[in-house]
Amino acid sequence: MGFLRARAPAAAAAVALAAGLLGAPPAAAAPTAQQVEAVFLFYFSQFVDWPQGAFADPHSPIVICVLGSDPFDGTLDQAVAGERVNGRPIAVRRPQSVGGAAGCHILYISSSESGKLPQILSSVKGHNVLTVSDLNSFDQSGGIVRFVLVNEHVQLRINEEAARSAGLVLSSKLLRVAQRAGSG
């Protein structure tokens, strides 16, 4: 199911939020794929459950990291500004290397890191990290959420086995708007 055409409340809210963040009325130009993806990164914080040990304490932030060149042009920072999820603030970091990604809860892997993908996924394996990218075959390589652009609509492909291996529980609301890795 295409994200922008989905009837799911999360999808509709993400589009509305992206349009609002851009200061444009809903009837104005549609948000870019990167803007929609940035808002999705924020929404993932609401539709993923991390195990208790994934946070240092009950007030620790949910940390969204962008590894590699940042395609979001400030939209991610705008999307999370002042937001809290389950009482936790949201923080955005941009580590310079996968070694600096320790403590990330959501790790967006930019296309600039495609040559290092096996190393990156290996380094976060066994950690409670939701990995996200738009790289081809990302979900089939062990990544959890892959953004796919189909007819100018952002779609999600989710590797549920990789999520389970990371100790993450994905909400049924998130799974409803996504294709499963290995399906269609």
Residue keyed to tokens 């809860």: 105
Per-residue confidence (pLDDT) for residue 142, from 0 to 100: 95
Which tokens go with 1?
A: 């199911």
- Run means of pLDDT, 10 residues per run, the chain, 184 residues: 37 44 53 93 96 92 97 95 95 94 95 96 95 94 95 92 96 90 54
Q: Per CATH, is 9-180 categorized as 3.40.50?
A: yes
Which tokens go with 56?
A: 């240092």
- Residues written for the chain: 184
Per-residue confidence (pLDDT) for residue 28, from 0 to 100: 60
